[in-house]
């Protein structure tokens, strides 16, 4: 599949789009004031040990304390198998380590006030602090060096056993005793000299980190990972990428130098965007980006899905919309659900939605059709590099699934809670505001001595009061013994009103 990487770089923001056959499939955004801290290494201090959660809070100098789970505390694991995906995210542990873990508790490993060196493995999300690990991993282009674990692993995506054994043999001869390493997927077919270049660079980097630690206070940052542009080339570039286009001449030169140094022999075209038209407009990415923020996503048939993100989970609702089908209702529903499956899998990746996801497909009476929809979704999610876990369609017609969270979703990066509704997503209706006003008029009349109540409201609410509630206003004036003056203020939001007592 042909891929193109598009880089939009300004002084305040970096945006990287990945197109597959000219269709936007991934978007990475990093802003100057919100630079990613995943991969950064800190020296921190344990401020609280939680035996009940088998975890600890560590002050690493960020706004919120970082979270360190017992399995992420470094001690001598034998047979540890660390599995890593293409994006260099640690996604799980297998092997003897899990069997031995029960022999240790967090209070045996950590004490309050203890100094630890740890790496951020997950961004702070919402009210949660960063997750950290003392299993330090230093990613290179072809392999990942693990200075704290004596273990050699090979990417799961390298399936040829002879190639796995060849890579393991080479790596064993390159890394010092006591170190570990993982061969990344791109290392398949690479010769010893290319792997040696990675090892030498990463060993020098580790020496620099240790020197920084000696001279650092606590808490302190001792290693900052690459910026998003070079990190994208290191972690996301594959042989499927046929073209790379950058709109910044400075970043263009940096990427070319990086590729020549760390990824020599690249066959893809690296271009500087020559047009005056903004690069994301030129490749029609801005349109797709706006669409990725809409709650409603229309399907080609006329059906649509509704995507709602909350703090705890994401709900996706499937509807037939304008699609009425040609034969019978069950066939119409099945076609809409199958079309929704492809769009849902695409939107989850594009929006980087993680955590718990509930999908409400249109109810199907035929069990065979339910199986078709479930299998189609499972097949689509198998192409997702983020780890997913999917359950069969329940009796209520719902699919429950989880998707590995690898940072903020697109909505969380680009949007903030509405200051008008304070994130509720709804505001009081005009009629409800009118009734609130009537109650408040009674309270104000009781508390004040003035003869006139001046009511200031939004224009739309004023129309309701003038047209539908005139008799209510007159009755209130009679009951309260006060005159009510109505004034319109166009700057007022719909649910805002003020009552001023006049003499």
The pairing of beta strand 180-183 with beta strand 152-154? parallel
Name which of 147, 117, 143 is nearest 132 in CA terms: 117
Same domain, 250 and 345: no
H or E segment and range at residue 103: none
Query: Considering the domain boundaries, does residue 45 fall inside one?
Result: yes
> SS3 of 431, please?
helix
Tell me the pLDDT tens digit for each residue of 134-176: 989 999 888 899 998 888 888 888 888 999 999 999 999 999 9
Same domain, 73 and 182: yes
255 in Cβ contact with 233 (< 8 Å): yes
Same domain, 11 and 78: no
Query: Considering the domain boundaries, does residue 261 fall inside one?
Result: yes
* pLDDT of amino acid 358: 96
Same domain, 130 and 14: no
Name which of 80, 148, 155, 91 is nearest 119 in CA terms: 148
* pLDDT of amino acid 450: 82
Tell me how many degrees the CA angle 220-221-224 measures, rounded to the nearest 5. Answer: 180
What pLDDT band is residue 437 in, cutting at 50, 70 and 90? very high
Q: Please, which residues have CB within 8 angstroms of residue 359's CB and are 6 or more apart in sequence?
A: 315, 316, 318, 344, 377, 398, 399, 401
Same domain, 233 and 215: no
Identify the CATH number of the domain in which residue 494 sits: 3.40.1260.20
Mean pLDDT of 470-488: 92
Please state, in angstroms and rounded to a whole number, the distance separating the CA atoms of residues 443 and 439: 7
Q: How many CB atoms lie within 10 A of CB 185?
A: 15
Name which of 276, 349, 223, 251 is nearest 15 in CA terms: 251
Average pLDDT of the residues of the chain: 86
Q: Is 456 exposed, middle or buried (0-12, 13-18, 19+ CB in 10 A)?
A: middle
28 in Cβ contact with 47 (< 8 Å): no
Query: Considering the domain boundaries, does residue 187 fall inside one?
Result: yes
Placement of tokens 């309701």 in the chain: 464
The pairing of beta strand 388-390 with beta strand 398-403? antiparallel
496 in Cβ contact with 459 (< 8 Å): no
Query: Considering the domain boundaries, does residue 95 fall inside one?
Result: yes
Query: Considering the domain boundaries, does residue 157 fall inside one?
Result: yes
> Left (φ > 0), alpha (ψ -120 to 50) or beta: where does 92 sit?
left
Please state the domain count of the chain. 4
User: Domain end: 414, 439, 459, which one?
Assistant: 414
Tell me the pLDDT tens digit for each residue of 256-308: 888 888 777 776 788 999 888 999 999 999 988 888 899 999 998 888 999 99
Please state, in angstroms and rounded to a whole number, the distance separating the CA atoms of residues 54 and 107: 8
* pLDDT of amino acid 76: 39
* pLDDT of amino acid 189: 87
* pLDDT of amino acid 80: 38
Q: How many CB atoms lie within 10 A of CB 256?
A: 15
**What is the 3 state secondary structure string of 275-305?**
CCCCHHHHCCHHHHHHHCCCCEEECCCCCEE
Same domain, 237 and 194: no
Same domain, 58 and 192: yes
Please state, in angstroms and rounded to a whole number, the distance separating the CA atoms of residues 107 and 398: 41
Same domain, 250 and 308: no
What pLDDT band is residue 323 in, cutting at 50, 70 and 90? low
Same domain, 299 and 359: yes
Strands across the sheet containing 23-31 = 23-31, 13-20, 3-9, 241-246, 269-272
Positive or negative, the CA dihedral 268, 272, 276, 280 is positive
User: Domain end: 414, 441, 472, which one?
Assistant: 414
Query: Considering the domain boundaries, does residue 8 fall inside one?
Result: yes
Same domain, 240 and 380: no
User: Domain end: 388, 414, 440, which one?
Assistant: 414
What pLDDT band is residue 490 in, cutting at 50, 70 and 90? very high
Query: Considering the domain boundaries, does residue 419 fall inside one?
Result: no
Tell me the pLDDT tens digit for each residue of 89-142: 333 333 333 333 445 788 888 999 999 999 998 888 777 889 999 989 999 888
**Alpha-carbon Rg of the chain, whole angstroms?**
29
Q: Above 80 in pLDDT, residue 206?
A: yes
Mean pLDDT of 207-235: 89
Same domain, 392 and 437: no
Query: Considering the domain boundaries, does residue 62 fall inside one?
Result: yes
Same domain, 321 and 375: yes
* pLDDT of amino acid 9: 93
Residue range of the domain that includes 436: 430-502
Tell me the pLDDT tens digit for each residue of 48-67: 999 988 899 999 998 899 99
Q: Above 80 in pLDDT, residue 246?
A: yes
Please state, in angstroms and rounded to a whole number, the distance separating the CA atoms of residues 485 and 498: 12
Instruction: Give the global pTM.
Output: 0.73
């Amino acid at each position: 599949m042909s891929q193109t990487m598009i880089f939009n770089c300004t002084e305040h923001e970096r945006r990287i789009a990945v197109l597959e056959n000219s269709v936007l499939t991934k978007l990475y955004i990093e802003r100057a004031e919100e630079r990613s801290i995943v991969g950064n290494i800190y020296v921190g201090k344990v401020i609280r040990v939680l035996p009940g959660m088998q975890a600890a809070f560590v002050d690493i100098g960020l706004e919120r304390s970082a979270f360190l789970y017992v399995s992420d505390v470094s001690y001598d694991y034998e047979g540890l198998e660390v599995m890593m995906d293409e994006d260099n995210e640690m996604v799980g542990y297998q092997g003897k380590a899990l069997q031995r873990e029960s022999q240790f508790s967090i209070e045996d490993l950590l004490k309050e006030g203890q100094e630890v060196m740890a790496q951020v493995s997950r961004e702070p999300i919402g009210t949660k602090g960063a997750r950290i690990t003392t299993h330090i991993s230093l990613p290179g282009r072809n392999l990942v060096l693990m200075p704290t674990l004596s273990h050699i692993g090979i990417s799961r995506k390298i399936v040829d056993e002879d190639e796995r054994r060849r890579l393991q043999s080479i790596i064993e001869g390159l890394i010092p005793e006591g170190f570990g390493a993982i061969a990344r997927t791109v290392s398949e077919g690479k010769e010893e000299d290319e792997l040696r270049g990675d090892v030498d660079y990463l060993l020098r980097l580790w020496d620099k980190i240790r020197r920084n630690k000696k001279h650092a206070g606590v808490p302190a940052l001792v290693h900052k990972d690459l910026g998003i542009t070079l990190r994208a080339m290191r972690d996301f570039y594959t042989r499927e990428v046929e073209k790379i286009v950058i709109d910044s001449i400075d970043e263009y030169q940096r990427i070319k130098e990086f590729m020549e140094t760390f990824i020599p022999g690249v066959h893809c075209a690296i271009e500087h965007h020559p047009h005056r038209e903004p690069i994301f407009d030129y490749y029609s990415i801005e349109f797709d980006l706006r669409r990725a923020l809409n709650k409603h996503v229309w399907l080609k048939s006329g059906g649509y899905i509704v995507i709602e993100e909350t703090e705890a989970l994401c709900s996706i609702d499937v509807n037939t919309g304008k699609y009425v089908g040609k034969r019978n209702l069950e066939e119409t529903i099945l076609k809409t659900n199958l079309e929704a499956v492809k769009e849902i899998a695409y939107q989850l990746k594009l929006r980087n939605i993680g955590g718990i996801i509930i999908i409400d497909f249109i109810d199907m009476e035929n069990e065979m059709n339910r199986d078709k929809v479930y299998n189609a979704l499972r097949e689509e999610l198998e192409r997702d590099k983020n780890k997913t876990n999917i359950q069969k369609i329940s009796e209520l017609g719902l699919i429950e699934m989880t998707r590995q969270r690898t940072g903020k979703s697109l909505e969380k990066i680009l949007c903030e809670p509405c200051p008008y509704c304070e994130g509720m997503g709804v505001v009081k209706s005009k009629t409800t505001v009118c009734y609130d006003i009537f109650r408040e008029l009674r309270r104000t009349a009781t508390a004040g001595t003035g003869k006139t109540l001046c009511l200031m409201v939004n224009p739309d609410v004023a129309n309701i009061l003038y047209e539908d509630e005139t008799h209510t206003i007159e009755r209130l004036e009679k009951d309260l013994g006060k005159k009510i003056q109505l004034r319109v203020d166009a700057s007022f939001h719909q649910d805002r009103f003020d009552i001023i007592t006049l003499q």
